[in-house]
Amino acid sequence: MSSTYPSFAIESAGVPNALALPASYAEPHWFAAYTCANHEKRVAAELGARSVEHFLPLYGSVRRWKDRRVQLDLPLFPGYVFVRLPLCERLRVLQIPSVVRLVGFGGLPVPLPDNEMEVMRSGLSQSVGAEPHPFLTVGRCVRITRGPFAGLQGFLKRRKCNFRVVVAIGAIERSIIVEVGMSDFVVQLGKE
């Protein structure tokens, strides 16, 4: 027994009144969850309590107050927590009070490239000195060939005698900067 409605099919095999969804809704992908200001750690704790795979990269920063200096762990991408889940389960994330929305276009969340997110997670877990950087869209484009961020593309910056690469996540228009050795990258021709 199945009835057909415009653009949705209701099937009674297995689960009564279940809507048939595209297969891509059932596959887990990485998404960026936009949070309220300064609520990233609270959202990450709630995601952990709900058993949702998530990623909140932090970096250490020393802040000076009137009477002391304080070492703080701040989000590398302020305002965002990355989650990996099937799109059909997005309510598990959206029901958290401090989550505003999943980043997307036209009302639909857009998945982030899985391979880039895995390289980013493994690279940042190796305690490499990464810091936030203003979002860049121009510069000498390079591909990192060795090290913890091998496979990522970014823009080359030079600071004194060190080479640094600005790695951007275009969907959220945020960037980080990481140090690389002179032989750890290759220039991408025709992409400046």
Q: Which residue has the higher pLDDT, 52 or 179?
A: 52
Q: pTM score, two decimals?
A: 0.82
User: Is the domain of 97 the same as that of 164?
Assistant: no
Same domain, 104 and 131: no
96 with 152, same domain: the answer is no
Q: Residue 166 and residue 135: Cα distance in Å, rounded?
A: 8
Residue 9 lies inside a defined structural domain of this protein: no
* Residues 58-101: tens digit of each pLDDT: 998 888 988 999 999 999 999 999 999 999 999 999 999 999 99
Q: How far apart are CA 12 and CA 9, in angstroms?
A: 10
**How many domains, the chain?**
2
pLDDT tens readout for residues 21-61:
677 788 999 999 999 999 999 999 999 999 999 999 999 88
Whether residue 73 sits in one domain with residue 150: no
Q: Is residue 108 one of the residues assigned to a domain?
A: yes
- Whether 119 is in a domain gets the answer no
Report which DSSP code applies to 149: T
- Whether residue 40 is contained in a domain is answered as yes
Question: Is the residue at 118 inside a domain?
Answer: no
- Sequence-ordered list of residues with C-beta below 8 angstroms from that of 7, at least 6 positions apart, any chain: none
**Same domain, yes or no: 95 and 148:** no
Range of the domain at 180: 125-192
The CATH number for 152's domain is: 2.30.30
131 domain-assigned:
yes
Strands (DSSP E) found in 26-121: 28-35, 53-55, 58-64, 69-75, 80-86, 99-102, 104-105, 108-109
- Looking at the structure, do residues 184 and 104 belong to the same domain, yes or no? no
**Is there a single domain that holds both residue 83 and residue 160?**
no
**How far, in Å, CA of 76 to CA of 59, rounded?**
6
Q: Are residues 104 and 30 in the same domain?
A: yes
d(Cα 136, Cα 167) in Å, to the nearest integer? Answer: 9
81/135 same-domain check? no
Q: Give the N- to C-terminal CA distance of the chain in Å, as an integer.
A: 58
Give the domain-ending residue among 49, 83, 112.
Answer: 112
Q: Is 10 contained in some domain?
A: no
* More confident: 158 or 1: 158
